[in-house]
Amino acid sequence: MEQMTALILCFIAGLAVGSLFGARTLLILALAVFVVEVGASVVLLGASSGLIWLLASQVALQLGYLGGMCLRSILERAGIVIIAPQSRQSR
């Protein structure tokens, strides 16, 4: 049960990151999930079954990110969300 909760949380985190942030934030979040899952798998599950849940949580995070990007695209096209153009300062 705890593993399914972790998968759902990874999916929701990916959904939020995909709808709000870019790919760099996803990489940082993926690294954080990796560290947490490695620690939890060693302490709670053992190395062999922990590896399966590590991969499953990474997949859930990636699928959530893709879902968040699709959600952002749908909201932008509907006119609900307007993304202001980013300006880069030249140095």
Task: Say if residues 25 and 32 touch (Cβ distance below 8 Å).
Answer: no
Give the amino acid at 69: M
**pLDDT digits 0-9 by tens, 9-50:** 888 888 888 888 877 888 888 888 888 877 777 777 666 677
Q: Which structure tokens are listed for 69?
A: 């990007």
- Distance, in Å, from the CA atom of 9 to the CA atom of 73, rounded to the nearest integer, reads 22
Task: Say if residues 16 and 72 touch (Cβ distance below 8 Å).
Answer: no
Q: Which structure tokens are listed for 51?
A: 């590896």
- Top-confidence residue, 84 or 31: 31
H or E element: which one contains 79?
A: none
Q: Any alpha helices (H) in 41-88, and if so which ranges? A: 47-78
